[in-house]
Amino acid sequence: MTVQSTDTSETLTGVNLSDGAAAKVKSLLEQEGRNDLALRIAVQPGGCSGLRYQLFFDERTLDGDETREFDGVSLVVDRMSVPYLHGATIDFVDTIEKQGFTIDNPNATGSCACGDSFH
C-alpha cells in the first residue's frame, strides 16, 4: 500500500489516505457529479467497544477541522477525533471476500468481534 500526501505539515491530523482509497473516493464523487465534498472521518461514542468510526462525504467546514489533501481528495477530521486518529490509514479493499473502506488505527487497543467499534 502506498500512502502519499501533498501536505507535509506536521501539525495536521496524521491521518493518511492510501492511493486506492483516494482513487475510490474520486470515483464516487465523479459518480455523484460533486467536486465540492470532502471525505470526513470522525470518531463517535458507540458500538460494543465504546468508539465507532464514521466515514462520510461532507460539504461543511467546522471550527477546528483539520484537512489534508491526497491526490485531489480532501480528508477532513474534526478536532475532537484528531487524537484518536493520529497515525491511522484509510484504505479501500476490493477482493472476492471483502469490499469497502478499512481503517488501520495504531491508537486502537482492541475492537469488538464484528469489527465495527474499537477502544
pLDDT band at 53 (very low <50, low <70, confident <90, very high): confident
pLDDT value of residue 119: 44
pLDDT value of residue 44: 85
Please determine, for residue 1, whether its predicted confidence score (pLDDT) is greater than 70.
no
Q: In what order do the strands lie in the sheet with 99-104?
A: 16-17, 89-94, 99-104
More confident residue, 18 or 1: 18
Cell output for 32: 455523484
Distance CA 81, CA 62 (A): 13
CB 44 within 8 A of CB 51: yes
- Whether the pTM exceeds 0.85: the reply is no
Distance CA 83, CA 111 (A): 17
Distance CA 106, CA 119 (A): 11
Mean pLDDT, residues 48-72 taken together: 88
